[in-house]
Amino acid sequence: MSLRPATTVALLALLAATPAVAQPRSGQAAYEEVCKACHATGELGAPKLGDAKAWKPLIAEGQSALFRTSIKGIRKMPAKGGRPDLSELEVKRAVVYMANAGGAKWVEPAK
């Protein structure tokens, strides 16, 4: 069955107007966009990216604990780094990116 030309044009216009589903940010992208403000400088006591000594005890707590505190917030860090629009997946990816820069060997979550 073929569509009439007017129906085809209307369908194509509808598809073009439908916003694309944004892909979740990578850990590096989330870090650059959100986390870098504090984790690049150590602002408010944040462990700096690449500072193995500062990240060692955090890495020892494990991924689950670090994910939980990063999503909910801890000490001076607000939930999701102050960006409620970040998905939990994006926060987890950013945590893995920063922990790996500090010596962890974690795999960035896909989901």
- Residues with Cβ within 8 Å of 103's Cβ and at least 6 positions away in sequence, in order, are 52, 55, 56, 59
Question: pLDDT, tens digit, for every residue of 53-83?
Answer: 999 999 999 999 999 999 999 999 999 999 9
Assessment of whether the complete model's pTM goes beyond 0.85: no
| Averaged pLDDT score across all residues of the chain | 87
Q: Are 72 and 23 in contact (CB under 8 A)?
A: no
